[in-house]
Amino acid sequence: MTQEQFMLGNEAIALGLLEAGCQVLTSYPGTPSSEILPETVKLVQAHRLETYAQWSTNEKVALDNAFAAAVAGKRAACCMKQVGLNVAADSLLSAAYIGIMGALVIISCDDPGPHSSQTEQDTRLMARLAKVPVLDPANPQEAREMARLAMQLSERYQVPVILRPGIRVCHARQNIGFGALKSVPQKASFGKDPARWAATPKFRLELHGRLNEKLDQISAHFDTLAHHNFHTLAPGRSYPLGIIAGGVPYAVVRDLLDEQKRSDVPVLKLGAPYPFPRKLADSFTAACDKVVVLEETDTLIEYLLGEREKTLGRLSGHVPRQGELVPEVIGAGLNKAFESAGLPPLTQQQDPQVQALTAGLDLAVRRPTLCPGCPHRASFYALRKGRAKTIFTSDIGCYTLGINLGGVDTCLDMGAAITMASGFYHAFAQDQVHQPIIATLGDSTFYHSGTAGLLDAVYNGARFVLVILDNEITAMTGMQPTPGLGLRADGSRGKPIPLERVVKGCGVDYLEVVDPYDIKAMQKSVKKAVAYTQTPDGGIAVIIARHPCVIAYRDRAIAVKRKVTVTEDCVACGHCRDRFECPALGIDEQSGRTGIDRQICADCGLCIQVCPKKAIVEVEQA
Amino acid sequence: MMENMNIIVSGLGGQGILFMTKILAHAALSQGCDILGAETHGMAQRGGSVISHLRIGRHQGTLIRAGSAGLLLSLDENECYRNLAFAAPGARLFVNLDRQLRPAVDAYLKDKAMTWHSAPATAIARQINAPFSTNLALMGFFAAFDNDLFGADRLRHVIDQLSPERFRQVNFKVFDAGLAYGNQLKP
Ligand SMILES: Cc1ncc(C[n+]2csc(CCOP(=O)(O)OP(=O)(O)O)c2C)c(N)n1
Ligand code: SF4
């Protein structure tokens, strides 16, 4: 039976993986990849498949697990966001040399924009660095087909294959029909072969040679991968300009040319751009006086094309070097190229008048904020108060929004709250300066990459306060469980590993657990911890600020609901709005005092503790 | 039902934009159309601007180009203005708003032969004690004016299919209240 669904791109990828017989799937969450694993689990449960899925503690761990499964002959996959592949890069480059027995598909989701990432990096360049094939889908349906293709290619050539969907594929939706899914019977087996699986440098050279041979074969395969790599040249004709595009930009280009009936401009689509389909590309460029390249987010095709004088793109200034290639940007880029080639322009539908109009309206920019009732807000309020000179190193998660409360001075990558705190400590200590430092990071971030930095900091005698903001969930990326919870990807129980044990295991002597909802208690605890870092035989002080996320744990996060109101004692000093920064606190237009937005207030009552005039009070229960 | 239609749904994180998009998409799907959509996830969902693109017909790309949306539904006045550039000449706009449009916008819409309708969807939803269903109030309001795309009956049917059991009755009530508000405004 086929059913048709309005499917999220990530769900289409999950479907493609299972259609290809994926037996093992590992992941660490990250926008825009986070839904692939949960959607896979849903399909596995609905179709009673045997596929094993796990949330791993980080991307390297995820990749190594999937790699081992593939070495044991299974069809395995591993998904993450693009910066996650940096964490797993060491494994990736080595795995490419060694190869696998079954199949290994790595799904690394890119975020041109960036909408929800630290960088706009291009996974295709990582594929080039690691020398593994990469597929670049244009929409959910193609992503599903490419998930299957990646599995086949990987099994056939015994090499890991990367699928690189952009955010506009992951978080796009499309109507997609599918039928029944079946489990694959491949059993695990391991054929001992230390020369390959534990290769020494001498054998590595040989493996590198073999990888290069595979790449030659795959490049030839990609020359004829008609469904995903093809051009629209008419035989024997030559053109002033051709367009080369892959991934999401291809879809935009295709729509634009179709809508404006521009069949005078041929297109080469490269859905599988590396190893570079050289013959196909050469036949296309030979028929064109110039070619313009539209690819996200960096320059892979543009670098790999041979003829520099013919090529227009980022390097020639026709395409912007940063930012998402949204339809308007592509339209503008194409028109520049059309002009260079003496072609009539596309008609732009954008009306300059409307831009002036909206600019003139002076619309307030909506910045994201922590949710009303968020325990992180209470933590940052308590940390920040009276500590203007402290350096607040922080990290990546919902709590990065603590920047709105002045509680976040740095954010580099996952785990850097700790490593930068110790770096700052030693830099100042060298000059005999005692610089107060408070590091904050979330529970999931701590499990992901906190321990190595903490071991290092303890061992090397750094001194700072580390606050682990434990909301008992990975909130930012959509509420995935953490090892502290003991809940696994399929909903079954795992062994919970409390933060306390890990922290102590890292050699930390000072540990306190507080509930940030009690702001006074939290402030006291921070004060004590700071003092400890300054005593002669003190060191690193760790505070676990534990309170559940109000979105993930709607029922128990706010145990006692407190409906609040603002009394006439409010002097409109703005302390609560500026320093506590709750979106439910606004200005009452009539009275000029602080007002409560009933629509979004979570009734957490935290602001009662914040107002210096005690003007925020609980509404008397009638 | 027309062959090609681009729809923009906008508002703020938490207002239920994705559910609105889903209703429209399923209404299109039930008429045998191809659909593509693009939605906002991640950081912006924490109260920031949220926009959802829905494309009905044969397309490859998921994003709507500026100047090519025929229908814009907005749960927030400012978000409606922010996304005006998507509107095609002659587009129809439905806004959650309890007062006049800003004069400059009004003049622009008239100039471009666009039509707009506004309803106090938040107040309508609140009256029924469903303050989190502004989205369905606006959907009902839109349905009152929609004779050619989906029609109120079809939208109602899709809401029936998509609503979880415990919200179904409330969802109908809010949708119907929005619909009634719209019908009474019609000439
Ligand atoms: C290497 C890497 N992997 C994944 C992500 C995506 N990501 C951003 S924040 C976050 C985790 C947040 O969880 P937690 O630390 O518990 O903080 P919370 O959001 O719950 O406050 C993740 C996985 C990333 N930015 N970098
Ligand atoms: S989702 Fe949870 S952790 Fe994130 S801002 Fe909201 S309450 Fe805080």
Shared-domain flag, residues A109 and A123: yes
Q: Which residue has the higher pLDDT, A355 or B81?
A: B81
B187 belongs to a structural domain: no
Q: Domain limits at B171?
A: 5-181
Listed residue (A610, A456, A611, A482) closest to A546, CA to CA: A482
Shared-domain flag, residues A331 and A416: no
Q: Quickly count helices (H) and strands (E) in chain B.
A: 7, 6
Shared-domain flag, residues A9 and A117: yes
B106 belongs to a structural domain: yes
A191-198: long-range contacts, CB 8 A cutoff, minimum separation 24: A191/A101, A196/A98, A196/A99, A197/A71, A197/A98
d(CA A107, CA A9): 12
**3-state secondary structure (DSSP) of residue B82:** helix
Strands (E), A96-255: 103-109, 134-135, 161-163, 172-178, 229-231, 239-245
Last residue of a domain, one of A295, A325, A356: A356
Shared-domain flag, residues A484 and A530: yes
- Nearest CB to A360; choose among B39, B66, B104: B104
Q: Which atom of ligand 1 lies at the shortest distance from residue A376's CA?
A: 21
Structural domain count, chain B: 1
Any idea what the CATH number is for the domain that residue A603 is in? Answer: 3.30.70.20
Which residues lie across from A245 on neighbouring strands?
A269, A294
A408 belongs to a structural domain: yes
Shared-domain flag, residues A321 and A398: no
Distance in Å, CA A550 to ligand 2 centroid: 6
Across A536-554, average pLDDT: 96
The CB of A372 under 6 Å from ligand 1? The reply is no
Q: Domain limits at A12?
A: 3-223
Across B124-150, average pLDDT: 94
Listed residue (A115, A548, A580) closest to B43, CA to CA: A115
Residue nearest to atom 10 of ligand 1 (CA): A397
- Tell me the C-alpha to C-alpha distance, in Å, between residue B141 and each of A62, B25, B151, B156, B174: 48, 17, 11, 12, 10
d(CA A387, CA A408): 12
Determine the pLDDT at residue A94. 98
A370 belongs to a structural domain: no
A365 belongs to a structural domain: no
Which residues lie across from A469 on neighbouring strands?
A442, A545
Confidence of residue B14 (pLDDT cuts 50, 70, 90): confident
d(CA A256, CA B68): 11
Distance in Å, CA B80 to ligand 2 centroid: 27
Shared-domain flag, residues A543 and A613: no
Shared-domain flag, residues A246 and A210: no
The CB of A449 under 6 Å from ligand 1? The reply is no
Token pair of A224 as six digits: 């004829």
Strands (E), A45-181: 52-55, 75-81, 103-109, 134-135, 161-163, 172-178
Contact flag A173-B25 (C-beta cutoff 8 Å): yes
Shared-domain flag, residues A169 and A234: no
Last residue of a domain, one of A510, A536, A557: A557
Across B130-139, average pLDDT: 93
Which helix (H) or strand (E) segment holds residue A282: the answer is: helix A278-286
A327 touches chain B (CB under 8 A): yes
Determine the pLDDT at residue B178. 97
B186 belongs to a structural domain: no
| Cis omega (within 30 of 0) for bond into A474 | no
Which helix (H) or strand (E) segment holds residue A43: the answer is: helix A36-46
Contact flag A360-B48 (C-beta cutoff 8 Å): no
Across A162-180, average pLDDT: 94
Which residues lie across from A270 on neighbouring strands?
A229
Across B147-176, average pLDDT: 94
Distance from CA of A212 to the nearest CA of B (A): 34
Contact flag A252-B61 (C-beta cutoff 8 Å): yes
The CB of A443 under 6 Å from ligand 1? The reply is yes
- Nearest CB to A139; choose among B13, B36, B112: B36
Shared-domain flag, residues A549 and A576: no
Shared-domain flag, residues A429 and A345: no
d(CA A609, CA A385): 13
Residue nearest to atom 4 of ligand 2 (CA): A398
Length of chain A equals 622
Listed residue (B124, B127, B64) closest to B91, CA to CA: B64
Contact flag A173-B38 (C-beta cutoff 8 Å): yes
Determine the pLDDT at residue A224. 97
d(CA A243, CA A340): 13
ipTM score of the complex?
Answer: 0.92
pLDDT digits (tens, 9 = 90+) for A474-532: 999 999 999 999 999 999 999 999 999 999 999 999 999 999 999 999 999 999 999 99
Which helix (H) or strand (E) segment holds residue B111: the answer is: helix B103-111
Which helix (H) or strand (E) segment holds residue A127: the answer is: helix A123-130
Pocket of ligand 1, candidates A59, A414, A447: which has the most ligand atoms within 8 Å of its Cβ, to mutate?
Answer: A414
Amino acid, res. B71 = L
Determine the pLDDT at residue A355. 87
Length of chain B equals 187
Any idea what the CATH number is for the domain that residue A9 is in? Answer: 3.40.50.970
Q: Percentage of chain A surpassing pLDDT 90?
A: 92
Q: Report the 10 Å Cβ neighbour count for A189.
A: 11
CB A293 within 8 A of CB A124: no
Determine the pLDDT at residue A368. 84
Shared-domain flag, residues A324 and A394: no
Burial class (CB in 10 A: 0-12, 13-18, 19+), B32: exposed
Task: Find where tokens 């603590």 sit.
Answer: A402
A160 belongs to a structural domain: yes
d(CA A596, CA A343): 59
- Nearest CB to A171; choose among B34, B38, B66: B38
Structural domain count, chain A: 4
A361 belongs to a structural domain: no
Determine the pLDDT at residue A289. 97
Listed residue (B111, B119, B69) closest to B94, CA to CA: B119
What does residue A2 show for φ and ψ, rounded to 5 degrees?
A: -100, 135
Strands A172-178 and B35-38: antiparallel
A368 belongs to a structural domain: no
Across B168-179, average pLDDT: 96
Residue A2 has pLDDT above 80, yes or no: no
The CB of A379 under 6 Å from ligand 2? The reply is no
Amino acid, res. A620 = E
Q: Report the 10 Å Cβ neighbour count for A534.
A: 11
Residue A550 has pLDDT above 60, yes or no: yes
Token pair of A617 as six digits: 């009070």
Which stretches of A341-482 are DSSP H helices?
Answer: 352-360, 375-384, 416-429, 443-449, 451-459
Residue A622 has pLDDT above 50, yes or no: no
Distance from CA of A218 to the nearest CA of B (A): 27
In whole numbers, what is the pLDDT of chain A averaged over residues?
A: 95
Beta-carbon contacts below 8 Å between A and B: 149
A552 belongs to a structural domain: yes
Task: Find where tokens 């998660």 sit.
Answer: A397
Determine the pLDDT at residue B15. 87
Which residues lie closer than 8 Å to B62 by C-beta, 6 or more apart?
A139, A168, A169, A172, A173, A174, A248, A251, B36, B37, B38, B53, B55
pLDDT digits (tens, 9 = 90+) for A377-421: 999 999 998 899 999 999 999 999 999 999 999 999 999 999 999
CB A287 within 8 A of CB A266: yes
d(CA A35, CA A171): 9
pLDDT digits (tens, 9 = 90+) for A192-209: 999 999 999 999 999 999
Amino acid, res. A433 = V
Shared-domain flag, residues A293 and A352: yes
Listed residue (A119, A126, A101) closest to A273, CA to CA: A126
Give the strands of the sheet with B35-38, arranged side by side: A3-8, A172-178, B35-38, B49-56, B5-12, B69-74, B87-96, B115-119
As a whole number of Å, the end-to-end CA separation of chain A is 58
Confidence of residue B3 (pLDDT cuts 50, 70, 90): confident
The CB of A547 under 6 Å from ligand 2? The reply is no
Q: Report the 10 Å Cβ neighbour count for A549.
A: 24
Any idea what the CATH number is for the domain that residue B86 is in? Answer: 3.40.920.10
A585 belongs to a structural domain: yes
The CB of A471 under 6 Å from ligand 1? The reply is yes
